[in-house]
Structure 1
C-alpha cells in the first residue's frame, strides 16, 4: 500500500495545525536528554497545544531516544492523558522505527500521511534513511510527484530532515537528496512551504521561491550556526499554522510558540 493511500479529510477551508517534533522520550519517564526531562517538556507542550482549538497535530519525528518500545508507549500515554482532543499524525525521524509508530497508531494517533481539506493538502514525507542522515527513496519521490499533480490544491510538505544546510553541526546528518526533493516540490507549482524538524532550533530559508522552515524541538535545542554540537535548554517549543484556503488564494501564517521550561 502506498504511503499516501489513506487520506484523512477535513470538510473545511480553514485549519489550525500544530507541528511538534523531536521529543526524544525514554522508557523511563524520569530520564533526561542533556539534562532535560523530555517527558515533562512534551507534557508542557501538549497542555499548551490543548488550549489552541486545534484541528490536528503533526509530530515531526524522533519520538524515541533509547529506541525502546516502552518510549513509544509513553508517547501514546502522554497524548491520551493530555487535554488534547484532535488527531495526532506522525512521520518518522532518524531515531524512529516506522513499525513501532504503526503499533501505537489507532484512534487519536492517526497514521494518515495525506491530510486533505477544502483547497489545501498536507503531505507527510518519509525521509528516514539507512544512516542518521536523511534519504527519500526513488520510489517515494515518485509517490510524492504523483500526489502533487493529482489536484491543483495548494500543498504543505512536512518531513523530518533538513533539506538545506543550516551551517551547523547537524549538516552532517541532513537530507542527502534534499535538492532533488525540493526541485520536485517547486516544479509542481502548488507547494506553499516545506517544514521540518531534526535541527532542534528555529530556521527560515528559501530554495528558489519555496520557503523552508525548521521547527524547534520539544526537548532541547542545539545552538545555531555552530560547528560544535552544543545543547541549550530553552524550554519546549512547537509551531502553529493558521491556514485559510480559498479557491482564489491560500493564506498560511505560521509562528513558533516557545514555552519556558
Structure 2
C-alpha cells in the first residue's frame, strides 16, 4: 500500500495577492500531475490541512477543480487557515467528512488504517486536541489494536526550534502522547503546518511533517526569531507499507519533474552505458 501526503496547499482566489506572489494554485496543479505520473501510483492521497488560505467558499471551489484530475481517492483535513463549514459545503459528496462537529474520521479497506484528527481552533494559528478529540482517538484506536495505523492531523505535536512556528504549536500534545503510548499499532503520525520535512520520535512512534506544495518556511534556527518563506522545491511524502516484516517506510518525493530519472540498474544488473534523458540537468 502506498499513501501519498501533500500539505499546506493554501489555494487562494485568482485576484488574491498571495496567489500572484506564491502561485499556490499553479503549484498544486503541478503536485497533482506529479502524483498521477508516479510509476507506483498511490492508493490514496491525504492532505494534512491549510487546504485554502482564507477559508472562503470560492477558494474551496477552486481547490475542488484543482484536485479533480487526481486518479486516486483524496481525503481532506482542516488546518488553521480552513473553515469547517465552508469545507463541508463545497465537498458535501465526500461522505467520510462528518456533517457536524469536528472533521475526524477513519479510512478502512486498505492494509493500513488511516485515522484523521481535527486540530483546528477557529481564528487561531495554533492547534488543540481537547479531551473530546482525544477520547475519540482513543476509541478509534481501541477498535483495531492489531491493525497497522497512521494518524494524520495538521499541527505537529512537537517543537522544532523555529521560534515563531513553535509559538503556533499544538495544545494537548501530552494527552496525545498518552493515548499513543497505549496503542503501539500506530506506525506514523503525519502532520503539516510547518512547510518543511521534519522527523522526530514521539510517544513510541515516529512523527513527521510534510513540506508545502508551494512555499516553504525558511530554516531559521535560534538565535534567529523571524518567520520567512523560501521557494525551496516543493515535495510530497510517500508512505509505503511493506507488510509486517518491512513496516512503513517514508520517502520524500520532490515535485520537480524537470529532473527526470534515468536507469542505472535494471533489476537484473548494472546498465553498462546509462544514458540520461534529453534535458537531464547535471548542475
TM-score bracket for the superposition, by shorter chain length:
0.7 to 0.9
User: Counterparts in 2 of 1:3-14, with a 5 A limit?
Assistant: none
CA shift in 2, pair 1:181/1:58, >3 Å: same
Unaligned regions of 5+ residues in structure 2, if any?
A: 99-104, 259-283
In structure 1, what is the Cα distance between the partners aligned to 2:96 and 2:73?
6
More displaced 10-residue stretch of structure 1: 153-162 or 122-131: 122-131
Q: CA deviation at 1:208?
A: 4.1
**Mapping of residues 47-196 of structure 1, within 5 Å:** 47-52=33-38, 53-80=41-68, 82=69, 84-105=70-91, 111=97, 113-117=105-109, 119-130=111-122, 131-151=124-144, 152-168=146-162, 169-196=164-191
SS of the aligned residue for 2:171 comes to: coil
The CA deviation string for residues 66-115 of structure 1, in whole angstroms up to 9 with x for no partner, is 332111000001111x2x21111011101101122212225579638211
Is residue 235 from structure 1 mapped to residue 233 from structure 2 by the alignment? yes
**Which protein has the bigger strand share?**
1
C-alpha distance in structure 1 between counterparts of 2:97 and 2:160, whole Å: 30
Contact 2:187 2:206 in 1 (8 A): yes
2:250 is the counterpart of 1:254: yes
**Equivalent-residue separation in structure 2 for 1:109 and 1:45 (angstroms):** 24
Q: Moved runs in structure 1, 4+ residues, more than 6 A?
A: none
Return closer, same or farther for 1:216/1:109 CA change in 2, 3 Å cut-off.
farther
C-alpha displacement of 1:121: 0.9
By relative contact order (CA 8 Å, sep 6+), the higher-ranking structure is 1
Mapped to 2, the partners of 1:172 and 1:103 lie a distance apart of: 31
Q: What count of residue pairs does the alignment treat as equivalent?
A: 243
Specify the structure having the higher radius of gyration (Cα): 2
**RMSD of the alignment, in Å?**
2.2
1:94 and 1:156 map into 2 onto residues whose CA distance is: 21
CA contact (8 A) 1:87 1:110 kept: no
1:125-152 deviation per Cα after TM superposition (whole angstroms, max 9, x unaligned): 0011242111012111111001111112
Residues in 1 aligned to 2:134 and 2:86: alpha-carbon distance in whole angstroms: 23
Structure 1 SS opposite 2:156: coil
